[in-house]
């Protein structure tokens, strides 16, 4: 009798990386991500921690080796650490890595527990080191808590990568300082082009900053050398000679990175999106809550492999353009 088959899509890409959202809720309201008065999901629609755990085990059985817990902000979910501890026990037993993306506001409280549970690396979203600018971007005065959380993460031994969305006219002038500060702290840094997901109050075209232009400016200041390093995600890396650090570039608009995609995303409601930039989805919650959860889950994952597209088609090329997708990033999972 053979075991479950590995996840391989129609383009023969092996899928080994799951980004699992545990909540769409967040304690910040970043202007490029969501409206100020965001409507969140009814709690009854969100998978329980037990269902999230069962789902993760089902993915591990099908060859997923890396799980990133996302949101929203995962650390605002009540009893979240129970799930982290349960999944942490699978590291070395089917799972190579358990990691998390967080905005850092609650890291000071949870950094030690995350490390103890088996998490060794986290991504922290931070778009500015200026308090006033942070308030404008995040619509909350929480920079001090984020910096405290970053210090706590470093103190307990968590490896940190800062994720910074490059925004024309907002943090454009600060990007070199953020990179230099991150490297000075012993963190990696990654710059990301703004993604056209969900309706927001501002026009994304006004703040879209191609990373090709950012790199040109950085190369006038620093020596950048292509790196062979890969993290399993979409970033491509360069080494910065003058800072001694590594810089990642995520370019969904200017340099499509889909050819080697090894990722799928599952929302907090159990909807599997085969592509961040597509509407192809499979309902895993229905499978989990059926009278044959294992059989239905395997069938749903097989379907997901058949419908995963070759690439996304993001574009921001004019004022007033509708977003590529109506759902917000916080709904899909970062």
Residues placed in the known binding site = 19, 26, 30, 32-33, 68, 72, 101, 125, 161, 195, 258, 261, 263-265, 275
The CA distance from 253 to 257, in Å, is: 9
The Cα diameter of the chain in Å comes to 62
Q: Evaluate whether 311 touches 258 at the Cβ level (below 8 Å).
A: yes
Q: What is the side-by-side order of every strand in the sheet holding 66-70?
A: 224-226, 236-240, 245-250, 188-193, 159-166, 121-125, 97-102, 66-70, 17-21, 263-266, 271-273, 281-283
SS3 content of the chain, % helix, strand, coil (to 5): 35, 20, 45
Nearest 5°: CA angle at 12, between 10 and 16? 105
**CA torsion 69→227→262→93, rounded to 10°?**
-60
Q: Evaluate whether 10 touches 310 at the Cβ level (below 8 Å).
A: no
CA atoms within 13 A on the CB side of 295: 3
The CA distance from 237 to 51, in Å, is: 36
Which residue ranges make up the annotated binding site for S-adenosyl-L-methionine?
32, 72, 125, 195
Q: Is the dihedral of CA 125, 131, 133, 134 positive or negative?
A: positive
DSSP output for 94-163: TBSEEEEEE-STTHHHHHHHHHHTT--EEEEE---S-HHHHHHHHSS--HHHHHHHHHHHHHHT-EEEEE
Which residue ranges make up the annotated binding site for [4Fe-4S] cluster?
26, 30, 33, 258, 261, 275
Which residue ranges make up the annotated binding site for GTP?
19, 68, 101, 161, 263-265
SS3 70: strand
């Amino acid at each position: 009798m053979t075991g479950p088959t590995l996840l391989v899509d129609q383009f023969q890409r092996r899928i080994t990386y799951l980004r699992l959202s545990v909540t769409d809720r967040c304690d910040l309201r970043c202007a490029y991500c969501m409206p100020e008065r965001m409507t969140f999901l009814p709690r009854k629609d969100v998978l329980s921690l037990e269902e999230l755990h069962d789902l993760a085990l089902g993915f591990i059985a099908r060859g997923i080796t890396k799980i990133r817990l996302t949101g929203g902000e995962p650390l605002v979910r009540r009893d979240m650490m129970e799930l982290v501890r349960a999944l942490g026990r699978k590291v070395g037993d089917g799972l190579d890595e358990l990691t998390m993306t967080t905005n850092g506001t609650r890291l000071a409280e949870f950094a030690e527990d995350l490390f103890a549970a088996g998490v060794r690396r986290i991504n922290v979203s931070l778009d500015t080191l200026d308090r006033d600018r942070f308030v404008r971007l995040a619509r909350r005065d929480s920079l001090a808590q984020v910096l405290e959380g970053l210090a706590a993460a470093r103190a307990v031994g968590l490896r940190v990568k800062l994720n910074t969305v490059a925004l024309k006219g907002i943090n454009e002038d600060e990007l070199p300082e953020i990179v230099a500060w991150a490297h000075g702290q012993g963190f990696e840094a990654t710059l990301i082009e703004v993604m056209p997901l969900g309706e927001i109050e501002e026009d994304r075209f006004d703040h879209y900053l191609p990373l090709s232009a950012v790199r040109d400016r950085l190369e006038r200041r620093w020596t950048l050398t292509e790196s062979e390093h890969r993290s399993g995600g979409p970033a491509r890396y360069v080494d910065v000679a003058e800072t001694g650090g590594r810089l990642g570039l995520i370019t969904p608009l200017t340099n499509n990175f889909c050819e080697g995609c090894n990722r799928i995303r599952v929302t907090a409601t159990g909807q599997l999106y085969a592509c961040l930039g597509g509407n192809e989805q499979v309902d895993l919650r229905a499978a989990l809550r059926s009278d044959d959860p294992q059989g239905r889950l395997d069938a749903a994952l097989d379907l997901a492999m058949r419908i995963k597209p070759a690439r996304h088609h993001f574009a921001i090329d004019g004022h007033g353009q509708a977003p590529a997708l109506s759902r917000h990033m916080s709904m899909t999972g970062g």
